[in-house]
Amino acid sequence: MVRSGARHDHDTGPAPEALRLVKVTKSYGTGDSAVTALDGVTLGLARGTFTAVMGPSGSGKSTLLQCAAGLDRPDSGIVQVDGTELTGGSEAELTKFRRGRIGFVFQQYNLLETLTVAQNTVLPLKLAGKRVDRRRAREILTAVGLGDRLGHRPDQLSGGHRQRVAIARALVTEPRVIFADEPTGALDTRSAREVLTLLRQAVRVHGRTVVMVTHDPVAASYADSVLFLADGRLAGRLPAPTAEAVAERLAHLGDDVMTGV
């Protein structure tokens, strides 16, 4: 899974990966209380793939997503999204890039309660200074099954519907990469399945790249492959995951780290 030293020629080489991390390190705190959340993570994800990230609580999954999405800055290392380096630029450049190319879905939806479903959905376009088209909001909300809820407020929606709004909001700018941190963590089984199907559709139908943190082996089985994290390091990769194989791997994650697999 670690493709160290891979290079591509910009004129003749393959298209850049959707996401590339090189030796990404991130610590919190200082001195005795310092915690290394990411410890030299190197990985590459091809465009148009759906990847699940799994690992024990505190293994660095959210930190990985935040750094990869440009919501947080690593202490060292390189993050590239769609061939563009996020690390190094100014805060304003980073924000601009993030708004145009990256979508993020949170466990707790993060919708603005005072805005309608339609207004929440087009907010990223507004923030990016793009023309806001009501038809676009209707189109994208219809695609996630909420075409009849445009004027509703988030508190009138179920958790599953709220998360669908959050997905519509993440898709509205047509981002290259969508990051989702436990998007089904607060949902019942059926809503979770619907949300996972939407994420998979974004990949299969629209060619987006999705990176999703989850604790649920069934959710992970919707992905093309699973990356395992332990103690801030990559601890394995499982292609074509089944829920059973994922659960088995999780149970032995500690062993993998011990043997350096």
Ligand X SMILES: Nc1ncnc2c1ncn2[C@@H]1O[C@H](COP(=O)(O)OP(=O)(O)OP(=O)(O)O)[C@@H](O)[C@H]1O
Residues that bind ligand X (CB under 6 A): 28-29, 35, 37, 55, 57-63
Distance (Å, whole) CA 202 – CA 177: 10
Question: Measured from the CB atom, is 60 or 236 closer to ligand X?
Answer: 60
User: Which residue, 144 or 250, has its beta carbon nearer to ligand X?
Assistant: 250
Buried b / exposed e over 174-211, threshold 16 CB at 10 Å, is: ebbbbbbbbbbbbbeeebbbbbbebbbbbbeeeebbbb
Q: How far is the CB of 110 from ligand X (least distance, A)?
A: 15
Query: Which of Mg ion, ligand X, none is residue 63 near (CB under 5 to 8 Å by kind)?
Result: ligand X
Partner from Mg ion, ligand X, none binding residue 58, C-beta < 5-8 Å depending on class: ligand X
Site string for Mg ion, 165-184 (x = CB under 5 A): --------------------
Joined together, the tokens standing for residue 135 give 């038809």
Selected range binding Mg ion among 9-17, 43-51, 57-65, 240-248, rule: CB under 5 A: 57-65
Q: Residue 24 is encoded by which pair of tokens?
A: 């990404």
Could you tell me which residues come within 8 angstroms of residue 138 by beta carbon, excluding any fewer than 6 positions away? 118, 147, 150
Q: Which is nearer to Mg ion, 61 or 249 (CB)?
A: 61
CB of 21 to ligand X, least distance (A): 14
In this structure, the chain runs to a length of: 261
Q: Are 257 and 230 in contact (CB under 8 A)?
A: yes
| 62 in contact with Mg ion (CB under 5 A) | yes
The stretch among 8-16, 26-34, 58-66, 86-94 that binds Mg ion (CB under 5 A) is 58-66
Q: What minimum distance in Å lies between the beta carbon of 31 and ligand X?
A: 13
Q: 82 or 181: whose CB is closer to ligand X?
A: 181
Are 261 and 235 spatial neighbours (Cβ–Cβ below 8 Å)? yes
Rounded to whole angstroms, the Cα distance separating 238 from 98 reads 29
DSSP state, residue 32: G
- Residue 124 near which of ligand X, Mg ion, none (CB within 5-8 Å, type-dependent): none
Where does this chain bind Mg ion (CB under 5 A)?
62
